[in-house]
Amino acid sequence: MNKNFFSPVMLVMALVFGTTVIGCDNGTTSDTWQDITSLDQMNGTWKSSYSQNNRPIKDVIEEQGGTWEPEMQAIYGDMRVTFRVDITLTINASAKTQAMSMTSTQSYSGGNINIIWPILKQTLGSLAEEGVTVTTNDADHSVSMTFSFPAETLSDAEITEMLNSGLQINQDGTKIMVPANSLTEGMPELIFYKQ
């Protein structure tokens, strides 16, 4: 797996957020966007977040490419998920490095959550083997997960791949736009804000 901008995000999405489909309201403004042409434009620390409230688990499974079979209705019932994800990305253009951390808080409710929770908790707990810090709360069927990627050096080829990926920056260099579906299928556009 290349160490470009997409690799850490895709890995975490697969490991940490595989049980939820990402969605957000990015607060579209009147920014003027242009393609990022230099790593220097991305230098610094950037943050993004997104959330969804009370999402039907049926929709999550279908958007992940699964099929909602009748037996799944019997297993999950009308279970719902609420989540928030916070991402911090740090680019050091002169050193040609990137580092990233992500924190997710998810809570599950309704349906057969009391039956599903022990299995879900065990599955999410196994992510600790992948370097994810996992904290669960039985009282409200919630889980918080944090994963950090230390600074990695980017090769010239990886930087070129990143610059050709469709990333855009606004007119005053304070926002980076990651196009929809560029990190993972079904993922909406994300906006990172310079810190």
pLDDT digits (tens, 9 = 90+) for 75-93: 888 999 998 889 999 999 9
**pLDDT at site 35:** 95
Q: Are 183 and 13 in contact (CB under 8 A)?
A: yes
More confident residue, 170 or 51: 170
Contacts 24+ apart (CB under 8 A), 32-36: 32/170, 32/171, 33/168, 33/169, 33/170, 33/171, 33/177, 34/168, 34/169, 34/171, 35/163, 35/166, 35/167, 35/168, 36/163, 36/167, 36/168, 36/169, 36/176
Whole-number Å distance between alpha carbons of 21 and 66: 12
**pLDDT at site 4:** 52
Q: What mean pLDDT do residues 31-35 have?
A: 94
Whole-number Å distance between alpha carbons of 40 and 38: 5
Q: What mean pLDDT do residues 10-28 have?
A: 43
DSSP letter for 22, please: -
Q: What is the pLDDT of residues 141-186, one digit of tens each?
A: 999 999 888 999 999 999 998 888 889 999 999 999 988 776 656 5
Whole-number Å distance between alpha carbons of 3 and 91: 13
Q: How confident is the model at residue 30 (pLDDT cuts 50, 70, 90)?
A: confident
Q: Are 183 and 43 in contact (CB under 8 A)?
A: no
Beta strand pairing status for 175-178 and 190-194? antiparallel
- Flag the least confident range among 58-62, 96-100, 156-160, 183-187: 183-187
Estimate to the nearest angstrom the gap between the alpha carbon of 82 and the chain centroid.
14
Q: Are 18 and 167 in contact (CB under 8 A)?
A: no
pLDDT at 9 over 60: no
Query: The whole model's pTM is what?
Result: 0.76
Maximum distance among all alpha carbons in the chain?
Answer: 55
pLDDT at 109 over 80: yes
